Structure 1
């Protein structure tokens, strides 16, 4: 493609029909209408980009600067013209000097030397021919030499032009020059076709096309910023949007420009580079979207809902209004995931999300409220915010929503799944004045609904309970910071040999007054407020330190540590534990992690992944509270556990309950069939221990074996 030399003259042009364009070069109406060329905002003389006088040369030079396209062809043409003029001047001067010297000095010389006029005439004729021949030869030599130089220079200029053109076409960015006033395009590289769909010739026909295509939302800002930066700094960097030629798509660009000559008055030129950053902005937009939205359902997530909810609460507070928040959960969602797979769970969430969206849009309650919000919280939970709606209206809506969910047929892989749900409700301002309190209490109300009925409204007693929990949270944080958690150890007896095999680590919290608080007082609060993982990490760190001091004396003793369900899916735990074991030189086989059965089957796939990863370090696993889940035997085979701890509720009355005896014996047989050892907890007396021995249970734990106590590493083996 040749490099166009644009003359900078505005011709009649038009915008794409979808932009509301007319035959005028600058439409005055429509979504992308631009201001007329004479607008003061685009004139250098009416902005800060001015100077004392124009020192750019002659009028001819100024005219040339205003019309020159600035492309490589123009540069080569100007250089060749300059060289040709120089050659012509030099040849003319040489010829003039020789001819003048010949005329001035040849005749007097011959007149003095030759006596006769006839001979003189002959010699003058010869002299003339000599002059003609000499000057012809000289001219031939001069012109030939200089022509060769010109050819060489022209070839170099063409090669330079080719290199410049090749470099410009190879760069994905758009290179351009812009003339002020008016922002008229002088030169623009061919890459504009790939980025904006325009041929460079279209900018020659309409030099104002750049300004036409500026997004109307950015136009005034961009123009003002460019003029201001050029006036003060001589350069600018600005980001803005431009319409593609198709009139429907928008591209983002980063524009870096620099003025060609800062000493200007009526006119100026700057050159710039446009870099397409659309992909960068789209990536940022996607990140912003994912920060506030659930990728599966497309609904707001809890973070996004919280941001909008705070604004709604401020509005309701100013207007003295009310607002309700509903927390809805799909019943037994974790079990559905395990039984049918995560794809089935995702399909349930998608269909429930669509149902709630449609049901809320058509609800009488919602139609009377403003800006109803629907979000997916986590797992199988959804959040609904109803502005200008009291608890009575919210309760009625909750009943209708649950009725619809009961009748919602979830079709997956040829099966029809039936689901049910529960809803907890809170109201503003009665139950909280900020999004954090309301959403937390909506979760609490949902927990009550799971136990007491399908719909539960938060009440004042629960609010008092929350205040008490908040004080417990403060005490837990204080104990974590001051490392006031203590380790107690309870022995676990190997029944066939009658010796202590390992110990369970039990945590205690030391209060500021020195009293000891049992975990039953604070663990549930820690789990509810999401700080149980911090306790687990601190307890695990203390346990590894204890093993480091214990093993030089008693290398065969193992310690069992409780691991909360919060660590299922915890990607940090494996790396942390590997590093900690390596630094302390503790064998991972001496650590037994106890995970409750209910926590494991709530997310079976993640639980299995956690167990597999920690077993790579040599750690073992025990399935705690086994038997209380109705799917116990189904999942026992697939979980990579080493020990099964029968729930204490089946052991307490073992001597007197034939049902418990049958169940304990059955659990033991099944576990041993899967090559897993069995632990019975809550062993309180000798008759219970005797029955366990008869059922071939491997280990016993309870007050009859030994009470939990603080034991130093030196005394560990003597307890039991």
Structure 2
């Protein structure tokens, strides 16, 4: 890279490396001695392999490798970390970037910028840097612990660099079992609460939990539902000691969705609070959006209760915000928050209030609408406004949704803490739907929430005990009437012998993440069934439905391979079904996964086609074998001209793309004849057979084989 260009761009105190493969890099720009203290192997070498001298940089490279493998143009940042060189303390930031297919690592030395900022806006600078540092540290520790505990489900593999970072961290870390019994706590946890570990019996975690339970209105919901929580607590030790604590709580769950550990990260932010007190504007306003912050919102809420005027409280959660930060960078995430805040403010009247009360959460006090119907209409306007596309500075399109919980004063409660607690509970209920939604608090909601938690516990128990069965519904070739395929459908067998239909527990499994272990069980069981089925009919396929959550599993392809190998079945006899929504939400990831699946020989069908975001683009780009016409279009084929037109269009389009067509929900002979006359390939439905147990399905194959012989 030309030095004149470097200078023109103002790129002065940084090193630019081009990634060749793994830890091998080529130096594009470097004239700084500080980098060679970080990577001595680069001295005198244009090409070199980066060693493990820096735990923080080495750990960032794990995420960078995943990002580079995706290959999409963009960048991710490490956040600021400190590194001790031979003669001074370095303040560094790493950026992993992809540009036109080439991968780069940029390491910035922020020392000059640090000193410049120190001379101006001292209070604001220290406040923001301190706060950002705490956030970065919390997220770093959480991400690494989450990865380690998910893979190993114990603490034996907390090796360098993560173990070293925890032990030497300037913040408290508690790791607990599901029953909140401490497994590990680092040295700073003791000094944070001014406890001498050698001479005192006091327990820092007990002190922390007492504060959390007393000061957090979401305490019960967080513990009972194993949810993430982020916020502040205040600790006072008589007679003189007082501290503000910034807290991040992370539940760590295994592949079965079972809580394995709690991770609590606690930082002393008393200095930040002190700086806030010196700057009233910073103490009450969010530095990213310039909206009132959580503290301002609480003060306004308590004042409004004293006036006794009725109003609604909104708890607004922006969906998938963490994913946006990961894909587009934290800069894009901040711009998104600013845009969202502007859209929210544009909907409010003079007396209404909007605040940013969490990382991706907003609170609204609505005085301008007087009844629930008007409030509901207002909530729908919020959803419509925020679902409109956003664009990054590089013109990349971003779409998000929101979950909204609403509580009313004084109908629901006259207490500020309960009002927020009820709005939070309603928001949590709204999260259970895939799309943006609004939920009003009610006693029925509280009861339903309790029943849901009971059902979730029963579902977890059923997974652990294997209380499930796999039914098969035949799929027939319309021309010959022969069974060519079967769809695998899960059933939950209760202890009293009755069956729970999928519609009653699959949505809950999706919301809680339990769909992942359930999905693996289905694939395993389908493989075992195929081992027997192909003895009756070697060409027959079994199709299994894949949940959107399963596409987030990096090990899905290797798991499919292990099932095929373990069961000793041809991969060609297995088929995956996925919905259109999965394709739209995760196109790049799905494209790679389906290409890998097709290389194995597994076929792919699109379920419920026509009900989602139908697009010729993905049909042409993705390796798809079949389209399944949704039963809603088949149901009224006898009487509805529009449904007939849709079915004919799907069949014609599919055949033009050389895709097979499967009709779902065929229940009478007229429907079957229409589909047959118009070249639909295969069909399933009660006209042919309901979903049946495995033995009954095998019996159908035996009967069919016997009839063919005659």
TM-score by length of 1: 0.49
Greater Rg over alpha carbons, structure: 1
User: Larger strand proportion, structure 1 or 2?
Assistant: 2
What TM-score do the two structures reach when normalised by structure 2? Answer: 0.50
